Each structure stands twice: as structure tokens, then as C-alpha cells.
Structure 1
Amino acid sequence: MTAGAGRAHIIVLGNEKGGSGKSTTAVHVAVALAHAGFSVGAVDLDARQATVARYLENRANFAKKSGIELPSPQVAVIKDGEGDVDALTDQLLEWRGLDFVVVDTPGRDSPMARAALSKADTLITPMNDSFVDFDLIGQVDPDTFKVKRPSFYSELIWDARKARGRVDGGTVDWVVLRNRLSSLDARNMRRMASALAELSKRVGFRVAPGLSERVIFRELFPRGLTLLDVGALEDFSLSHVAARAELRALVGALKLPGWAE
């Protein structure tokens, strides 16, 4: 199966706040695309933690030990240093024949992170459903919760979009994922939804449902499995079915070329 773009469609995961589920989302999107029959590469730019690379290493080890085949992306780890930006460009050139390349950026501002943003076709910003995380992309009035202005990260994305346009005239589809939605605070959810809708019109992003706070996403890490690996999972339950549907809804909401449920 091919995405049909003539070159790899580049998906960049970007967020400068830790704990937003960025690396977890990157792995699951990459594996979901591999399961769908696409050729996929995964670039981990956080060489220190290397969460994506470790997840996929665990996946390869589990598959070998169990004597099974698991659809998996190719993986590369690139250091986030001043002189390493060219390494990212070289890796993307090497993988230009793939359908998709998923790039997980470090949770900080750096030349490497900015370079990755400027190469994105699809930019995914996962965020927890709280105004602490919302502050990354927009500031709200403390009394009315109305958006006052975009924040520094929205401005950074604006610059990245301009840089992408100058290079090849391409556009960046920015998707903000609402991860770890809580069913306990309906008022906060409504306020967040309203603020995101208002800001999205001002700075140009789409809002999509992300991944809930589920223990299963963390429990699968040592084996490198996802909820799409049904044949390798033990004690598959209704809660797993719900989580798998959530993952498929996430990937579907990205509206990636060639994707069909």
C-alpha cells in the first residue's frame, strides 16, 4: 500500500511540555500505519531518553523471542545538537521512498526541533486537557477563560509554516490532540473545548481526540506492543477494545493520505 505522495509524508510530533503523551502518540501512529500496510520510518530526536526507539527496540525483541512477526516501522535515533540538523535532512532523504516518516521531537526548543517543524506535512501537538498545557499555545483571561492572545509556541509554528512554504510551497496541517480527557470535570472540558475552538480559528489548527489516561498504554511498553497487536496480547478485554477504537479514531482524525479504516 502506498500513500501516493511521491515522497514520504512527514508527521512531526511537537510539544515543549513534558508528560503530554507525545512519544506514546508517535509510536502508536507509526505502528498503526505499519499495520495498515504502509512503509514507515520513525525518527527519535530525543537521543537522551529515546522513548520511541526503546519502545520499538522492545517490540523487535519481543517479536524475535516469541517467533512472531509484528508490523513495525524502521527506526533512527538522531542527537539533538547544534551540528546535527543536517543528519535529520540526510535521514529524511534516505527514507524519501517510504510512505510515512514519523518524527518525535525533544520537549524543548532547539535548532533540531525547529528544523523538524519546518519539514512537517502533518504536525501533531498532543496536550493534556488542562489550561496549564493550553498556555503553551494560547493565553486566556483568568475570569472569562476567553483567549487573549496566541502564545510563543503558536508563533513558533507560524514561523515553521512560513519556512516550509519558502522551501517547497508546501503547507503544514497542524492538529492539536486532546490527550487524557477527564470525565470528572465537565466544566473544565467545556472551557477547554471553547478556548481551543476560538484559538484554532485565529492560528489555524484542527482539534482531534487523543489518547485517554489508560494503564494499558504504559503496561505494553516493555514488550513494545500496541492494542492493534491483538494476536500477541493476553487477556484481551472490552476495555482493550475501547482503547483500540480510540487509537483508530485518533489516526483517522489525522486525515493522512491513503488512510482508510
Structure 2
Amino acid sequence: MAQTNVIVVGNEKGGAGKSTIAIHLVTALLHGGARVAVLDLDLRQQSMGHFFANRRAWLDANGAVAPMPLEFPLSIDLATAPDAEAVARFEAAFDQASNEADFVLIDTPGGDTAVSRTAHGLADLIVTPMNDSFVDFDMLGVVDPVTLDLKRPSLYSETVWNSRKARAAAKGRSIDWVVLRNRLAPTEARNRKRLDQRVQALSRRVGFRVGPGLRDRVIYRELFPFGLTIADLSPTIRPVAMSLQHVAARQELRALVASLGLTGLDAPMLAAE
């Protein structure tokens, strides 16, 4: 039996687009023919769980067919359970998911929890989206307020670093860590160059790769209520009018999947009407 690949989408800051990245990776992998299991650890918001509930409802209502992941929902009371119990319940769900899927994708909450730390330790690939600002960079590294020089990695970077060291010691291979510059504005921001320099400096220091994220496009938001992504659009699944922007968004998702070394989006590129 082939080994299951575990992808953890995480950072400890809310609003960075973790769930957006997670649902796009899941649907891209599904359309690539993979069996994908999902675990949503953001137990209060449950954006990924709501997305796939919307997907099921929209497909049923419209007589359409699209691939669905294997879901292993965790009860919201896990958030208030003692750490040992919460970790044990998560690990039981994870073991079941690992036995049934080619990929297990775990969406984590915007905070530090025992379950989230456990999930990071199980990852083969950690994907960390960050908005293109020093506000989000603070989640990765601390800069000097006068010079903007990098002072030290953040607590989250240290969490990932410790997970990678533990994995390397236990299994002889480390965890691949990719930071995505997410929700890039269409125009060049004034501080983009300064931020680029700090991201690259930190990547050399703590060992992550920098990958392309998803721009701030309307299409990513307007498909969410239907439980669909740009990967799903086809002649039979088209809840919104098509445009050249949708083709550009699909190319963007292809680039993201390729940068992570994953297989997905095997369907032909959509043409705009």
C-alpha cells in the first residue's frame, strides 16, 4: 500500500487564507484523481466543513457531479477537552483517514493548541499562507522596529522547526515547509521589496521554501457559497458567468499545485466564453 501524504495548512494567525488554500488544494487533488481525506481542526469556525456541506447541497440541487473528499468531522467539544483526550481523539480520526486516502489534508486553527502541534508533527508538507504585509510576517519572524532587520524567528516558526527536527530524528527525513505569499494585490505594494527581503532572509534561516499563493480575486470568494472552486468549473458546472479572469485564476491554481510538488488539475484548461 502506498504511503499516505499528509498536508497541514497552518499558521497561528487568523485571516491569512488557510481555509481558502485548503479547499483549493483538496479540489485540485480530487480532480487529479487522488483519494483525499480532510480533517478540520478549526472547530469553532469550521470553514472547510461548511464548504463541503455547501458543495454536497449544490451538487444535489443541480443534478451535477463533482468529486468529494472523505470527511472525518471532529466534535466541537474537542476544543474544550483536556489536551491528552483531544490529541487521542484527533489521532484516532487521523489513523482512520490515513488508512483510506492517498492524501490527508488538515486545516488548523489560528492559534496554538496541543492538537495543532500534533498535526504539524505528522505532516509531510506544511503550507503556511501569509498575506502580503508585515502584519502577517510577524507570525513568522520578528523585525527590528527601527531598521526592519530580521531579529529572530517567531514562536510559530520555532514550532515548525521543532516538528521538523523531531521528524528527521524519528524517520530520517524532514518536513517540507512552504510559505505562500497569499492574497497579493494586483498592483505592486510600496513595501513589497522590503517584505521580500525579510521573507527570503527568514527562509534561509529556518529552512522554508517560498511559493506562489492566490491573488485577491473575486472568483475565489464568489464560488465559496456553492462549495465550488475554480478547479470544478466545467460545461456542466458553471454557477457564475465565465471570463478571462477565471482562466487566469485556474492557471494560478495550477502554479500553486506545481510549486508544492503535488499532482492535480489534470482536466483541460477552461476557455472563457
| TM-score of Structure 1 vs Structure 2, range by shorter chain | over 0.9
Whether 2:232 is the aligned partner of 1:226: answer no
Match of residue 96 from structure 1: 98
Cα deviation, 1:116-137, whole Å, max 9, x if unaligned, reads 0000100011000101110111
Match of 1:252 among 255, 258, 268: 258
Give the Cα separation in 2 of the matches to 1:183 and 1:211.
11
Residue 216 of structure 1: CA displacement? 1.7
The alpha-carbon distance between structure 1 residues 145 and 182, as it changes in their structure 2 partners (threshold 3 A), is farther
Match of 2:217 among 214, 221, 238: 214
Whether 2:179 is the aligned partner of 1:173: answer no
Match of 1:72 among 68, 71, 83: 68
Residue 260 of structure 1: CA displacement? 8.1
Identity %: 48
Residue 140 of structure 1: CA displacement? 1.8
**Structure 2 matches for 1:106-255, cutoff 5 A?**
106-231=109-234, 232-233=237-238, 234-255=240-261
Cα deviation, 1:40-61, whole Å, max 9, x if unaligned, reads 0111011211100110111111
Between stretches 55-64 and 79-88, larger displacement belongs to: 79-88
Local SS of the residue matching 2:163: helix
Local SS of the residue matching 2:12: coil
Whether 2:59 is the aligned partner of 1:63: answer yes
Cα deviation, 1:50-76, whole Å, max 9, x if unaligned, reads 100110111111111111211121122
**Conserved 8 A contact 1:121-1:170:** no
Match of 1:20 among 16, 23, 31: 16
Q: Which runs of 5+ in 1 are unaligned?
A: none
**Conserved 8 A contact 2:186-2:215:** no
Give the Cα separation in 2 of the matches to 1:142 and 1:48.
34
Give the Cα separation in 1 of the matches to 2:173 and 2:48.
27
Tell me the number of residue pairs that the alignment of Structure 1 and Structure 2 aligns. Answer: 256
The letter for the 2-side match of 1:104 is D
The alpha-carbon distance between structure 1 residues 259 and 216, as it changes in their structure 2 partners (threshold 3 A), is closer
The letter for the 2-side match of 1:29 is L
Q: Which runs of 5+ in 2 are unaligned?
A: 267-273
The letter for the 2-side match of 1:255 is G
Local SS of the residue matching 2:104: strand
The letter for the 1-side match of 2:112 is D
Give the Cα separation in 1 of the matches to 2:113 and 2:91.
15
Residue 188 of structure 1: CA displacement? 1.3
Whether 2:48 is the aligned partner of 1:49: answer no
Give the Cα separation in 2 of the matches to 1:106 and 1:170.
26
**Conserved 8 A contact 2:28-2:265:** no
Residue 162 of structure 1: CA displacement? 2.4
Give the Cα separation in 2 of the matches to 1:142 and 1:190.
17
Give the Cα separation in 2 of the matches to 1:250 and 1:230.
18
Match of residue 270 from structure 2: none
Between stretches 71-80 and 228-237, larger displacement belongs to: 71-80
The letter for the 1-side match of 2:252 is E
Residue 184 of structure 1: CA displacement? 3.5
The letter for the 2-side match of 1:64 is D
Match of 1:86 among 63, 72, 88: 88
The TM-score normalised by the length of structure 2 is 0.88
Match of residue 36 from structure 1: 32
